[in-house]
Structure 1
Amino acid sequence: MSLGYVLKEGMAGLNRARLAAFTSVFSLFVAVLLVGVLSRVGYNAYEVMQILKQQVEVEVFLQNIDDRTSQEIRDRIESETIVAELSYISRDSASKIFQQDFGIGSDALADLQFLPASYKVKIVENAEITQIDSLVQQVSGFRGVDEVRFNQALLQTLESRTETLFIIGGAIGAFILFVAMVLVFNTIRLTIYAKRDLIRAMKLVGATNSFIRRPFLVEGMMQGVIAGTAAAAIVFGLFEWVVPQVVPQLGVLSWPFGRWYFLLGAILILSILMGWWGSRWAARKFIRETKVYTTN
Structure 2
Amino acid sequence: MSLSYVLKEGVAGLGRARLAAFTSIFSLFVAVLLVGVLSRVGFNTYEVIQLIKQQVEVEVFLQNIDEQTTQEIRDRIASEEFVEELTYISRDSAAKIFQQDFGIGSDALADLQFLPASFKVTISDGVEIAQIDSLVQQVSTYRGVDDVRYNQALLQTLESRSETLFLIGGAIGLFILFVAIVLVFNTIRLTIYAKRDLIRAMKLVGATNSFIRRPFLVEGMFQGVIAGTLAAGLIIILFEWIVPNLVPQIGVLSWPFGRWYFLTGGVLLLAIILGWWGSRWAARKFIKETKVYTND
Per the alignment, residue 38 of structure 1 pairs with 38
Query: What pairs with 1:218-257 in structure 2 (closer than 5 Å)?
Result: 218-257=218-257
CA contact (8 A) 2:53 2:126 kept: no
Per the alignment, residue 123 of structure 2 pairs with 123
Query: What pairs with 1:1-296 in structure 2 (closer than 5 Å)?
Result: 1-296=1-296
Query: CA offset at residue 70 of structure 1?
Result: 1.6
Aligned residues: 296
Query: CA offset at residue 31 of structure 1?
Result: 0.4
Provide the secondary structure at the position in 2 that maps to 1:95. helix
CA deviation map 1:159-179 (0-9, x unaligned): 011001001000111001100
Provide the secondary structure at the position in 2 that maps to 1:285. helix
User: In the aligned structure 2, how far is the partner of 1:199 from the partner of 1:75?
Assistant: 80
Structure 1 gap segments, 5+ residues each: none
CA deviation map 1:175-224 (0-9, x unaligned): 01100100000000000000111111111111111111011001000100
User: In the aligned structure 2, how far is the partner of 1:233 from the partner of 1:86?
Assistant: 47
CA deviation map 1:115-158 (0-9, x unaligned): 11111112223222221111111101101111101221111000
Percentage identity across paired residues of the two chains: 82
Provide the secondary structure at the position in 2 that maps to 1:263. helix
Q: Counterpart amino acid of 2:56? A: V
Query: CA offset at residue 113 of structure 1?
Result: 2.1
271-280 or 99-108, which deviates more: 99-108
Q: Counterpart amino acid of 1:14? A: L
Query: CA offset at residue 106 of structure 1?
Result: 1.1
Q: Counterpart amino acid of 2:42? A: G
Structure 2 gap segments, 5+ residues each: none
**TM norm structure 2:** 0.97
Query: CA offset at residue 53 of structure 1?
Result: 1.6
User: In the aligned structure 2, how far is the partner of 1:113 from the partner of 1:251?
Assistant: 47
Q: Counterpart amino acid of 1:246? A: L
User: In the aligned structure 1, how far is the partner of 2:85 from the partner of 2:235?
Assistant: 38
**TM norm structure 1:** 0.97
Aligned-pair Cα RMSD in Å: 1.1
User: In the aligned structure 2, how far is the partner of 1:91 from the partner of 1:4?
Assistant: 82
User: In the aligned structure 2, how far is the partner of 1:59 from the partner of 1:276?
Assistant: 56
Q: Counterpart amino acid of 1:181? A: I
